[in-house]
Structure formats: C-alpha cells, structure tokens
Structure 1
Amino acid sequence: MLIGNLDAMTVFARVVEERSFSGAARKLGMSKSAVSKHVTKLEDNLGIRLLNRTTRRLSLTDAGSTFYQHCARVVEEIETAEHALTDLRGTPRGTLRISAPLTFGQMYLPALVTEFMEQYPGLHVDIHLADHMVDLVAEGVDMAIRITRLKDSSLIARKLADFSSHIVAAPSYLQEHGEPKTPQDLTQHKTLSYTNLPSPNIWDFNGPDGQVSVRVDPVLSCNNGEFTSTAAIRGLGIAREPEFIVAQALLDGRLVSILKDFNADSGGGIYAVYPERRHLPTKVRVFIDFLVEKFRGGLCSFHQQTCAEVAQGKGPIRSS
C-alpha cells in the first residue's frame, strides 16, 4: 500500500513543511485541488486523519505528527536517490532549509547566502530565523547554525568559529558612573541582561585567581542581544554581549570592552549542525564547507571582511 502512496507522502510532507495546501502547491508545481486530493487519498488509504483543517489554518493530528516524521525520512531518501547522479557531479540542487539565531542571521547570513547562491544559482534557499532551538527532523530543516556549548545529541556538528563574549559599556556611561575594576564591582552598577541564556543573571569570568561568578541585578532584561547592546550604546548600563553583535560598535568606539583581565566566559562556539544521516545531501555538505572556509580566520576576521565589502557597496550589514 505504501508504495502506491509515495507521491501522496511527498505531497503530505510538503503541506506540513509549507503549512498550507497553497504553499505546497507552489513548491510542487501542482494545483491546490490536486494537493488536497493527494492528502485526502492518503488519509483514506491509511484509515486515519493526518491533518485538522479549518478555514484559517492547518494543524497536525497526533497521528499526523508521528507519520510525518517517518514520511519526511522516506521522501528524503527518494530525493537522495533521484539526485544521485547530480550529487556525484558535486552540484547541489533542490531546496536548502537553514535555521539560524535571529540576530546572527540578520547580520551575517545575507552576505554569506548571496555569495553561496551566486556559485550555485540552481539552488533554492529557505531560511528560518529564531532564537529558540528548532527540531530539525520534525520541521524538515536540513541544517542549523547554533551558538552554544555543544551538548550530546543525535545531531552532527562542525565547528565554524569560537564564540567569545565581551563586557561592554558606552563611554558616556563610564564617564558618569566610573569603570568597574573587578567582576564584583558589577553589583554596584546598572546591568543589562540577555534572557535566552540558562542563567542570564549569573555572569561567569576567568580571572587571575580562577573562575568567578557574579550575580547581577539588571535594570533591563530582554531576549534579544541586539536590543540590549543598543541600550548599552545609549548609556543605559553594562551588558555582556557576544562578539558578533558588538564587534562593529567596539571598532568605532560606541562601546568599550571592560574587565579585560577577567575574560568573560566564552559560552561555547558557533557550529553548523545537521541530523545524523547515512548520506549527507550534497547541498548541505557544500554549504557547510563554504561556511568553514569563510570563518577560517575567526569571527572577527570575517566581520572585518564583511564590513569592508559593505563599504564597497556589496551589501548591507546590521550593527548595534
């Protein structure tokens, strides 16, 4: 029965990934009615409802969610088989689905993806930016960029760059309130906290006498690092920010790095991660290789290169 349903399974997977019949129809080059008929036939053959349909939205039933996870793997294997000869030639094709953190993606991915797609014009790239951890398998994502301490998981990871943090403040804030000399001095200052960390109000340092942890009492908390860095630039307080967000502000003097003798805890690295698969699709392998090469000199080197390209009019970059 399932062999006869392979076309319907492909259609069903696209409906789930596009979250609509019309979106799946556009991706597949089919009519919306044909997509609906494929899904209805699949449900009839299986004898169970896979999707809840309303006039405004679609949602998976419990059975549909379970079936989709298996269905997506089957469809992936079919696509891998269909593209085998193309893969042997090393030419990526199809749709590359990427997940990345919001601010990092806004700042760096436009330049990276544009250059990559110029090399492979036949490839379609679908990018999802979000600060929460996306389930790559359940949501049909090929790979993700994650900035974290890597934990054991079913995902395969390749490191792109080290991830460092800076304790930063605006010159105007330091002129008015003075500069803290030790991590403990932060308890007497206004601080800004990024809340997407496991312990946002515990700031860790590696000083001359070993590791030091300080509990701060922030005057502002936010789940977006670009927001807190902008508040720091405006003189609201002291922030702990990742290098990729504050690099430009440090270069042009809008922010100053402080407590340099107490290196802020790095927080891990920047990784490309993807689901464990027997055969990594060429589109994923080639893009990860591209990222590794681009970040070979480290994040700071890549940032400076990107800024130089922006100065030459090659593309936008957002900064704090």
Structure 2
Amino acid sequence: MNAMQAFVEAVKQRSLGGAAQHLGISRTLVSRHIQALEDELGVRLMNRTTRSLSLTEAGQSYYHFCDDILTRVEEMDRQISSEAAEARGEISVLAPKWLQAPITHLLTAFAKRHTEIRPRLVLGGVAQTAYGFLEQGCDIALHTRPIPDSRIIARRIADIPYCLCGSADYLATAAPLTHPTDLAKHAALVHFAYHTWQFEQGGREERFQPTPAFSTNTFSALRDAAVDSLGLSLLPVPLVRDDLAQGRLRAVLPEWTPFGQTLYVAIAPGSGVPAKVTLLMNFVVEWFGKHPL
C-alpha cells in the first residue's frame, strides 16, 4: 500500500520530490517504493528523468487501478472510524451459560439506553485462553477466571458466591454431613473446570477433590442433576437462588463457606477501542455495582 501510494502521488505531483513532500518521506524512499512495484510487476511504470516523469502504457493502467484502490481504502477507513466513534452497530458478547438471566437483563437495559447498538449474546464455550473470545468473533467477554495475558484489557466486576447443595430427597437417604471430609461418602456432581472444592470456616481451610458420580462442562446441567436427586454439587448462588428459596435444593454444610470466584469483563488489547465497546464495558461495571450476584 505504501508503494502504491508513493506511485500515485508521484503521478499527481508530477515529480518524486513533490510526492516525497506530500507524503512526508524522503525522495529516495519514494523512488525505492516505485522501483519495488516495477520489480514485482516486471514492467516499467514510468520514465523518469531529472526534470520530468511520464507514464508508460502499463503505468497509465496501473495508476488508475491504484488510485481507485487507495480511494476505496480511505472511504472504508472513514466509515469504520465513524462507526467506532459514533457507538452504533452490532456488538458481540460472550458469557457463561449460567449467567443467562443476569446478562440478558443487563443487555436489555443497555440496548434500551443505547438504541443504535445491537447486542449479540453468545452463551457458553467461554475459552480459558486469553484470546479465546476474540477467536470466536466476540468484542467483549465475561470470564470467571483471571486472564493470564496482561495485554487483554480486563476489569474485575463482581464476586460470585457458591453454595454446596442437594435435593431434599437425596439428603433424606444420604449419609450425615458435618464436615467437608464427609463428602467422600456422597455422590458428587462436578464441573470439568472445578474439580477441587474448597471451604473456609473461621480462618481454617479444607480442600476436597471429589470422584464425580456425574460431570459436565456446564453448571446448568449440574443444577438439573442436583434437582433430580443424583447427588451434591457446588454451584453458583445466582444460578440456584430460586431453587433454594422454593425448596427444590437445600444448602448443606452451611457453617463452611465455599470458595467463590470473581467475574471479570474483558476486551481486546490495543488502542482505538470502539466507542460501543467502551460504553458496554463501563455499563457492565455499573450494572453489577447496582445488581450484585
């Protein structure tokens, strides 16, 4: 593109020096750019003397082609810059499935406030790699684990409480539970990514690594299995709050507090973050400040 630009400006300015001055580079570099084009194409594009420039037949055709390409690039640059600055268009958000209810409410409120922005929500498949959400074509992601790449722009937005729970039918016939070590006598419903359960009581910590009676990659499936009386599961409180309130699930070992997680919002690294992405990131932080999980 730089070589094409040097060639087009040399034609428009009718001299290498004029092109150099217009582009803010040296005359020698303009000459090298044009020579590189000619070497790549295998044809002479212009006849150059110390006093004048004249296009060859091939140069005439190539000049019109390059000028058209550069004009289209400039138009697209202006369009993209305008869209980024004006905060409009589609924005894609990646979030865990169990966050469906709160993130849907959040995006609904955001869309009502910013009517020119169209949210697109992708649930599940949140990669643990730093750039996973970008590879999936998303502008912003909600993560439940720290992102190990400092180049990713991430903000901590909420603490996620967890609850160890099971159904009344399961607990009615299961072994008594007074300590985390008693979990070895129970059927454990385990998330692939969270295979160690940790608890705290008065500064004391206990770790338990269950042998899964059932395992899956989604908390929603674990919740369903727990409601169906298959066993005990360590689940995010926002996912099972209604189940606990309505008696479908019961909290166990209430005197032992499970280790929770932290929710992060992440966007791509670099400068020139689109206005719509900045708006949504700030809105997410604001939302969770008013609506704790």
Shorter-chain TM-score bucket reads: 0.5 to 0.7
The alpha carbon displacement at 1:93 in A equals 0.7
Residue 285 of structure 1: aligned partner: 278
Residue 81 of structure 1: aligned partner: 81
Tell me: CA distance 1:259–1:298, structure 2 relative to 1, closer, same or farther (3 Å).
Answer: farther
Task: Report the identity percentage.
Answer: 23
Describe the SS at the equivalent of 2:283. Answer: helix
Describe the SS at the equivalent of 1:145. Answer: strand
The alpha carbon displacement at 1:76 in A equals 10
Residue 263 of structure 1 aligns with an amino acid whose one-letter code is T
Q: Distance in 1 between matches of 2:113 and 2:83?
A: 19
2:126–2:133 CA contact under 8 A, matched in 1: no
Deviations 1:172-215 (A, max 9, x none): 22122144110000001111111133xx1x21112335221112
Residue 179 of structure 2: aligned partner: 182
Residue 102 of structure 1: aligned partner: 97
What is the aligned counterpart of 1:129 among 117, 123, 126? Answer: 123
2:199 paired with 1:205: yes
The alpha carbon displacement at 1:92 in A equals 1.7
Q: Distance in 1 between matches of 2:116 and 2:208?
A: 51
Describe the SS at the equivalent of 1:236. Answer: coil
Residue 260 of structure 1: aligned partner: 254
Tell me: CA distance 1:208–1:150, structure 2 relative to 1, closer, same or farther (3 Å).
Answer: farther
Residue 48 of structure 2: aligned partner: none
Residue 171 of structure 1 aligns with an amino acid whose one-letter code is A
TM-score by length of 2: 0.67
2:267 paired with 1:270: no
Moved more, 137-146 or 235-244: 137-146
Tell me: CA distance 1:219–1:138, structure 2 relative to 1, closer, same or farther (3 Å).
Answer: closer
Residue 204 of structure 1 aligns with an amino acid whose one-letter code is Q
Residue 169 of structure 1: aligned partner: 166
Q: How does 1:1-320 map to 2 (within 5 A)?
A: 1=1, 81-83=81-83, 87=85, 92-104=87-99, 106-133=100-127, 135-197=132-194, 200=195, 202-208=196-202, 210-266=204-260, 268-300=261-293
The alpha carbon displacement at 1:129 in A equals 2.2
Tell me: CA distance 1:130–1:257, structure 2 relative to 1, closer, same or farther (3 Å).
Answer: same
1:99–1:143 CA contact under 8 A, matched in 2: yes
Tell me: CA distance 1:174–1:140, structure 2 relative to 1, closer, same or farther (3 Å).
Answer: closer
Tell me: CA distance 1:139–1:209, structure 2 relative to 1, closer, same or farther (3 Å).
Answer: closer
The alpha carbon displacement at 1:150 in A equals 4.5
Q: Which runs of 5+ in 1 are unaligned?
A: 6-44, 46-73, 301-320
Question: Displaced runs of 4+ in structure 1, greater than 4 A?
Answer: 2-5, 74-80
The alpha carbon displacement at 1:124 in A equals 2.2
Q: Which runs of 5+ in 2 are unaligned?
A: 6-39, 41-73
2:192–2:215 CA contact under 8 A, matched in 1: yes
Tell me: CA distance 1:256–1:98, structure 2 relative to 1, closer, same or farther (3 Å).
Answer: same
2:155–2:265 CA contact under 8 A, matched in 1: yes
Q: Distance in 2 between matches of 1:209 and 1:82?
A: 54
TM-score by length of 1: 0.62
Tell me: CA distance 1:96–1:79, structure 2 relative to 1, closer, same or farther (3 Å).
Answer: farther
Describe the SS at the equivalent of 1:271. Answer: strand
The two structures, once aligned, show a CA RMSD in angstroms of 2.9
Tell me: CA distance 1:82–1:257, structure 2 relative to 1, closer, same or farther (3 Å).
Answer: same
Number of corresponding residues: 223
Tell me: CA distance 1:4–1:124, structure 2 relative to 1, closer, same or farther (3 Å).
Answer: farther
Describe the SS at the equivalent of 2:206. Answer: strand
Q: Distance in 2 between matches of 1:247 and 1:221?
A: 21
Larger Rg: 2
Q: Distance in 2 between matches of 1:146 and 1:112?
A: 16
Residue 60 of structure 2: aligned partner: none
2:160–2:263 CA contact under 8 A, matched in 1: yes
2:83–2:89 CA contact under 8 A, matched in 1: no
Q: Distance in 2 between matches of 1:159 and 1:249?
A: 27
